[in-house]
Chains A and B, each alone.
Chain A
Amino acid sequence: MERMIRGRAFVLGDDIDTDQIIPAEYLTYNPSLEEERKFFGKYACCGVPDAQSGLPDGGIPLVAEGAWASEFQIVVAGKNFGCGSSREHAPLSLAVAGITAVIAEFYARIFYRNSVNGGYVVPVESTVRLVDEIRTGDELEIDLDQSVVRNRTSGKEYQVKELGEVLPIIEAGDIFEYAKKAGMINS
């Protein structure tokens, strides 16, 4: 696991549910098939209403029209990120779009679990409301050793929570790698 995650921020609001992250009409693609997996990157976050996409100004899609991946690497959001359905296609679509980490005030349980167990994105929890502090396009640096986020565009720095009890799974890569290390399943 990278201890230092760098990238450009893409900012969203509260209660971003999994239907907005990957709308149900695209779930017919099977992410286990290489040639279909790429569609999850193309359509990542296309269900977010335009005015709420890429705050504070809005009107910015995570993945540009016609592109297969995003020019942003870190999603910043408010409360209850990833609520709604259990579709693992949601954290997967962010990962396929090139997102490496999400920073939210807190997560819906299944999204958080899927992110960690599937090893898709690192789900970081902020201690303050970053949605009002960070603008889409800002250059961010998440320092997991120090548990801080640095906004290199504004020069400000914010405390985030430690990854805590899920850290061993994130460090192992995913739940399978973790279980192998713990001797629960054969390599």
Chain B
Amino acid sequence: MAMTVTEKILSRNAGRSSAVPGENIWVNVDTLMTHDVCGPPSIGIFKQRFGENARVWDPDRVVIVPDHYIFTANPQAHRNIGILRDFVKEQGLKWYYDPDFMNAEGMPSPYADPSRTSYKGVCHIALPEEGHTRPGEVLLGTDSHTCTAGAFGQFATGVGNTDAAFVLGTGKTWVKVPPTMRFVFEGELPPWLMAKDMILAVIGDIGCDGATYRAMEFAGSGVYSLNMEERMTLTNMVIEAGGKNGVIVPDQVTLDYINARIAKSGTRSDFEIIENDPGAKFYFEKHYDLSTMEPRVAKPHSPDNKANVSEVAGTQLTRAYIGSCTGGKVTDFVAAAKIIDGHECKVPTFIVPATTEVDAELDKVQVNGRTLRTIFREAGAQIGPASCMACLGGPADTFGRLNDAAEVCISSTNRNFPGRMGHKQSQVYLASPLTVAASAITGKITDPRDVMTFDSMREEAV
């Protein structure tokens, strides 16, 4: 029977010859990821159910990435890091990225040098950077944006603490096999658009429940012309349409990225590339012509509250935010720096690299002969250390958090539900880093084409 890539991965990990959408099957999990918010309760349930002396099913397949509540004085946040450290030691876990600068109570003084800390930052970007994403595998994570890793041709999805505890003890989980929706982007992405515009268009079209219980596959020349960071922006936000997983079948770009990372980190290299069978059935298929697409936003308070930037242009803002797993990668900052260079930010602008690696790149990557960090600093933007930061609000002392009801923020993050970035009356517009940067230097929502002349050809940034 012809199967989609998602059905094939699931059937293989279930030890079966087929997997039909709608079936409930038990699958072996290749990697389990958790972080500082959901790790401690998952560990709690694991011990409660499997016993105080229980061992995890495979210490090489558990990856722990603290990232959410690092730069805060909140005492429970510090305590939670302690729980992770104890568990890592007790179980002999190899893949743990400790915030080694968090030693005492109060606000930790950030890592002195991003290239000399074991700390990584946001888990969904740390996983591929550290060689933990592999085609054909099943990755579960206690975070809904675990779907990001589907950009590497694997089945990756978010689960709760109970499921994670169950996997810790057994290495298995049950999955309802999802039917696949296919989104094909034709043509080349114009330089004023980014992957964020593509995924906001999809979510706007199908709604924030449009892919519930389904897989979303991205294909077409428009997808394969993107680098891995941009592809990750597509799969990152499938959860904003309710999708179970997002997937992009690997090509040479994928393999080059993965092989380099695995070689650097010494992680498992025994993966298999899985593609759609000829004649595989898709539940739904939609084609997009990139040459006719416009810069997009999601208006408050839902990622599917769609508009073209031109429809909301001129909306007054109180701040701009560029960061998170979806909008805080090197490609995102290069795009923003091209627009911001030589200008002054008209509203407080917050720059938050997703990981310490991205942070280190801010000093290496140049635009117009100057580093990204210099460009942002000179424009008056505030640069924070790598973490989730205000993407999810967090404790009140979080860098960039919207603590006031009157805040109107344009953000490269992925969610704008009420209260997501702080105060429940504050308003968040989601947009591409290009649009956020254009809006930062004018103080109101602005189409990137109104502040910069783009060459007709797109240059590859990283």
Q: Which A residues are closer than 8 A to B by beta carbons?
A: 15, 17, 19-20, 23-25, 27-33, 36, 47-49, 79-80, 83-89, 106, 108-110, 113-114, 117-118, 165, 174-176, 179, 184-185
B184 within 8 A of A: no
Known: A36-B76, A109-B242. A86 touches B160 (CB 8 A): yes
Known: A32-B45, A87-B37, A108-B242. A17 touches B160 (CB 8 A): no
- A48-B418, A88-B38 known, 5 other contacts, Cβ within 8 Å: A19-B418, A27-B37, A86-B158, A110-B144, A185-B170
Would A114 and B163 count as touching, CB distance under 8 A? yes
B159 within 8 A of A: yes
Would A30 and B212 count as touching, CB distance under 8 A? no
* Chain B residues numbered 38-82 whose CB sits less than 8 Å from any CB in chain A: 38, 40-41, 43-45, 48-50, 68-69, 72, 74, 76-77, 79-80
Which residues on A sit within 8 Å (CB–CB) of B111? none
A-B pairs with lowest CB-CB distance, top 8: A32-B44, A88-B160, A114-B160, A28-B76, A86-B158, A86-B144, A118-B162, A80-B209
Would B38 and A86 count as touching, CB distance under 8 A? yes
Specify which of A49, A80, A184 is in contact with B242 (CB 8 Å cutoff). Answer: A80
Would B160 and A28 count as touching, CB distance under 8 A? no
Which residues on B sit within 8 Å (CB–CB) of A118? 160-162
Would B208 and A80 count as touching, CB distance under 8 A? yes
Query: Nearest chain B CB to A32's CB is how many angstroms away?
Result: 2
Query: Nearest chain B CB to A48's CB is how many angstroms away?
Result: 8
Query: Nearest chain B CB to A16's CB is how many angstroms away?
Result: 9
Known: A17-B417, A20-B419, A25-B395. A83 touches B242 (CB 8 A): yes
Would B424 and A47 count as touching, CB distance under 8 A? yes
B142 within 8 A of A: yes
Docked complex Cα distance between A15 and B302 (Å) = 9
B166 within 8 A of A: yes
Which residues on A sit within 8 Å (CB–CB) of B191? none
Query: Nearest chain A CB to B324's CB is how many angstroms away?
Result: 13
In the complex, the chain B residue whose C-beta lies closest to that of A184 is B170
Specify which of A20, A25, A110 is in contact with B160 (CB 8 Å cutoff). Answer: A110
* Chain B residues numbered 130-173 whose CB sits less than 8 Å from any CB in chain A: 142-144, 146, 158-163, 166, 169-170, 172
Docked complex Cα distance between A154 and B37 (Å) = 43
Known: A49-B425, A84-B415. A89 touches B41 (CB 8 A): yes
B392 within 8 A of A: yes
Query: Nearest chain A CB to B267's CB is how many angstroms away?
Result: 24
Docked complex Cα distance between A78 and B37 (Å) = 28
B393 within 8 A of A: yes
Known: A24-B392, A114-B160. A15 touches B208 (CB 8 A): yes
In the complex, the chain A residue whose C-beta lies closest to that of B418 is A49
Docked complex Cα distance between A32 and B395 (Å) = 20
Docked complex Cα distance between A29 and B69 (Å) = 12
* Chain B residues numbered 353-399 whose CB sits less than 8 Å from any CB in chain A: 392-396
Specify which of B69, B162, B395 is in contact with A88 (CB 8 Å cutoff). Answer: B162
